[in-house]
Amino acid sequence: MIQITTSIDDVSRQISLHEGNYQRPAGSVRLLAVSKKHSAEKIRQVHANGIVEFGENYFQEALEKIHILSDIDLIWHFIGPIQANKTRGIAENFDWVQSVDRAKIAQRLSDQRSSEQAALNICVQVNLSAEASKSGIASHEVESLCQLVSELPKLCLRGLMAIPAPMTDFNRQRDCFRQLNLLFTNLQRHYPDMDTLSMGMSGDFEAAIAEGSTLVRIGTALFGERE
């Protein structure tokens, strides 16, 4: 408990520091706690320290925690690869989906979001050129997927997300995030609801904040190593 409180303070302090150092307005970078592989009990402790947004990658694991924690008001983000047979559960149980990278998934999420629920907040996941990962849509196809998402009735296009290949060199990290920011600012002119640039994890969030991130997704630096 004391440990988790300390790491939340540390991460929050670093975010504020980077905002100041890179001429970002105070409070312009939100913290998403990535809780995959960590227990509902730990999430409760993190929430007790003022964090309300949590990110999960695995649908079954997430669903269990969402049910256990239904007595508290949390904002859940799905950030993992999406199988088509999981879209209903994701559409019904999450507030945000950050890993939309193809039209079929966008269409299903909109169709399966219940009519009583508000529109599902969406970030399109971009595969920046140098990435070995299979997730994410290529940069030149981002615009057409954003167009589709913006037209679907139960989706709200909020932004872009990317997971660059791990790099230790700070300037190379920045180069990568700068590309995403460029795409983002171009799209923002057409899509007024776009306000979220989701980039930066435990190992590269300083570079992401320097390049305009509005949401950092932090797991290890908050919770410690995953098993």
Ligand X SMILES: *Cc1c(COP(=O)(O)O)cnc(C)c1O
Stretch that binds ligand X, among 19-27, 81-89, 138-146, 213-221 (CB under 6 A): 213-221
- Does residue 202 touch ligand X according to CB under 6 A? yes
Per-position x/- string for 77-106, each x denoting binding to ligand X as judged by CB under 6 A, each - no binding: --x---------------------------
The tokens of 148 are what? 């589709």
Gap between the Cα atoms of 106 and 89, Å rounded: 14
Our CB check for ligand X shows the closer of 117 and 133 to be 133
Answer for which of 19, 30, 143, 203 binds ligand X (CB under 6 A) is: 203
Complete DSSP assignment for 133-174: -S-SEEGGGHHHHHHHHHHSTTEEEEEEE--PPP---HHHHH
Complete DSSP assignment for 59-92: HHHHHHHHHHTTTS--EEEE-S---GGGHHHHHH
Our CB check for ligand X shows the closer of 179 and 198 to be 198
With CB under 6 A, what is the number of residues at the site for ligand X? 13
- Does residue 51 touch ligand X according to CB under 6 A? no
- Does residue 34 touch ligand X according to CB under 6 A? yes
Gap between the Cα atoms of 223 and 33, Å rounded: 9
- Does residue 163 touch ligand X according to CB under 6 A? yes
Stretch that binds ligand X, among 60-68, 107-115, 145-153, 199-207 (CB under 6 A): 199-207
Q: How far is the CB of 190 from ligand X (least distance, A)?
A: 25
Our CB check for ligand X shows the closer of 34 and 194 to be 34
- Does residue 12 touch ligand X according to CB under 6 A? no
- Does residue 57 touch ligand X according to CB under 6 A? yes
The tokens of 227 are what? 């098993």
Stretch that binds ligand X, among 17-25, 61-69, 188-196, 197-205 (CB under 6 A): 197-205
Q: With 0-12 CB in 10 A as exposed, 13-18 as middle and 19+ as buried, what is 44?
A: middle
Q: How far is the CB of 57 from ligand X (least distance, A)?
A: 5
Gap between the Cα atoms of 99 and 111, Å rounded: 17
Taking residue 167's Cβ as centre, other Cβ atoms within 10 Å add up to 16
- Does residue 218 touch ligand X according to CB under 6 A? yes
8 A C-beta contact, residue 160 and residue 200? no
- Contact residues for ligand X (CB under 6 A)? 34, 36, 57, 79, 163, 201-203, 217-221
